Amino acid sequence: MSTVAEIRSKGVARRVPLEQLRLDAHNPRLAPEDQGAGQEELAVKLELGFDALTVAESISSHGFFGSEPLIVIAGDEPDTWTVVEGNRRLTALLGLADSEVRSQFAGRTQWDSLAAHASVTLGDLIPVVVLENRSEATPIIGFRHISGILQWEPYAQARYVARLVDEEGMSFGEVAEMIGIDRTRVGNLYRDQAIATQAADLGIDAGQIERAFSLMTVAMSTPKLREHIGADLGAKTVPGVPPISEQKHEELRELITWLYGDGEIEPVIGESRDISKLGNVVATPVGLVALRAGKSLDHALQQVKDAAENPRQRLVSRLRSGRNALTAALEDLAEFVDDEEVAGLVDEARSAVDDLQAALES
């Protein structure tokens, strides 16, 4: 006679009233300044930033799928449950059930229409899985939102990894094994968020880093830029220790300015593909001087190229480029013979040629 064994599982399936569910004030998706906000404020942030309306449309049309229960732990107040996985769905449910909550949402009319069709109430029983503590949810949250199909934005991933390391004392290897990514990526995510945090501590506006965190990850995968600010490989980053030494604070500041601008100065890169060019420029003294003087990335890159050539090669290259540009301009010139700006540029080109000829004759 065979023995039937139950598969190992975590959590207890239950159904609890919607009114007992609470949004997670420590949701990794939230920006650091939003952590710990009140319930209505959290709902507004999640609705605005994470498209809860789309989820509400699905619930209004098809109902709430019991096959995807919310994952909860005991809340801070009696008879409440904090949702540690499924906050966007909870936001959608609250918007459909609570007129006071949805009154603060963008597109109030659309929310009212969905609510009337869905007929969700705060007393409705919602399927949940109850876990004993937040740590028990780590494997599924990490797998789903970092290595799985519902991935968070890069900065949220990095903050979550940092929380596991700094607050739960896990090693890079333990985090990697738990959430299903390699140890190198864990170290890189940890290092890059630590750099963003250190920048904020130094008074550098880190808001743009958070919004376009992928630029930082690409920059830190460029060895020449890592060397410029003295950043280690992610795997060598020491948890809890600022990754950039005091001697390199100014280099960190200027790198962030080159990547993101500073409100007054525009970034020198136009897109992430320019970051490799930036690395090549920063790695040479002449390129670094040009950038620090406020020159464009293309200008600095050209100076780097010019410095690599001997004077005769540089002269021939410049003359050929000028000749080719002027020859190409002839193709369009006939259409703009009466254009004053075009005529002025032709005069300047002629003057430049006259100066070259005079230099030859002298």
Tell me, yes or no, whether 102 lies in a domain: yes
> 299-316 pLDDT, tens per residue?
998 888 887 766 777 777
Tell me, yes or no, whether 272 lies in a domain: no
**pLDDT computed for residue 230 by the predictor:** 95
- Parallel/antiparallel/unpaired status of strands 12-17 and 125-130: antiparallel
Residue 258 CA to residue 208 CA, distance in Å, equals: 12
> 351-362 pLDDT, tens per residue?
888 888 877 877
Supply the pTM of this predicted model: 0.65
147 and 252 together in one domain: yes
145 and 116 together in one domain: no
The structure tokens listed for 296 are 């464009």
Give 30's contacts (C-beta < 8 A, 6+ positions apart).
37, 42, 45, 46
**pLDDT computed for residue 309 by the predictor:** 65
The mean pLDDT of 246-255, rounded to a whole number, is: 94
44 and 121 together in one domain: yes
236 and 162 together in one domain: yes
CA-wise closest residue to 81 among 89, 73, 93: 73
Position 143 confidence tier, pLDDT thresholds 50, 70, 90: low
125 and 16 together in one domain: yes
Tell me, yes or no, whether 326 lies in a domain: yes
The mean pLDDT of 139-156, rounded to a whole number, is: 71
Give 126's contacts (C-beta < 8 A, 6+ positions apart).
15, 16, 17, 18, 21, 64, 69, 70, 93
> 152-204 pLDDT, tens per residue?
778 888 888 888 899 888 899 988 888 778 889 899 999 999 999 999 888 88
Domain that holds residue 339: 310-361
**pLDDT computed for residue 244 by the predictor:** 94
CB 164 within 8 A of CB 28: no
DSSP state of 222: S
The mean pLDDT of 326-330, rounded to a whole number, is: 87
Tell me, yes or no, whether 274 lies in a domain: no
53 and 103 together in one domain: yes
Ranges of beta strands (E only) in the chain are 12-17, 21-22, 70-74, 81-85, 125-130
**pLDDT computed for residue 56 by the predictor:** 86
Give 68's contacts (C-beta < 8 A, 6+ positions apart).
86, 89
Tell me, yes or no, whether 39 lies in a domain: yes
Tell me, yes or no, whether 29 lies in a domain: yes
251 and 326 together in one domain: no
251 and 165 together in one domain: yes
Position 134 confidence tier, pLDDT thresholds 50, 70, 90: confident
**pLDDT computed for residue 255 by the predictor:** 94
Residue 147 reports pLDDT greater than 70: no
> In degrees rounded to 5, what are phi and psi of residue 68?
-125, 70
Domain stop point among 78, 102, 132: 132
248 and 201 together in one domain: yes
Mean pLDDT for all residues in the chain: 84
110 and 147 together in one domain: no
Which residue did the predictor score with more confidence, 296 or 65? 296
DSSP state of 267: P
Give the other-Cβ count within 10 Å of 302's Cβ.
Answer: 16
> 96-129 pLDDT, tens per residue?
988 888 888 887 788 888 888 888 889 999 899 8
Report the number of distinct structural domains present in the chain: 3
For residue 89, the domain's CATH number is 3.90.1530
**pLDDT computed for residue 145 by the predictor:** 67
The mean pLDDT of 147-152, rounded to a whole number, is: 64
Domain stop point among 77, 109, 132: 132
Give 154's contacts (C-beta < 8 A, 6+ positions apart).
189, 213, 214, 217
Residue 60 CA to residue 333 CA, distance in Å, equals: 62
CB 25 within 8 A of CB 15: no
144 and 114 together in one domain: no
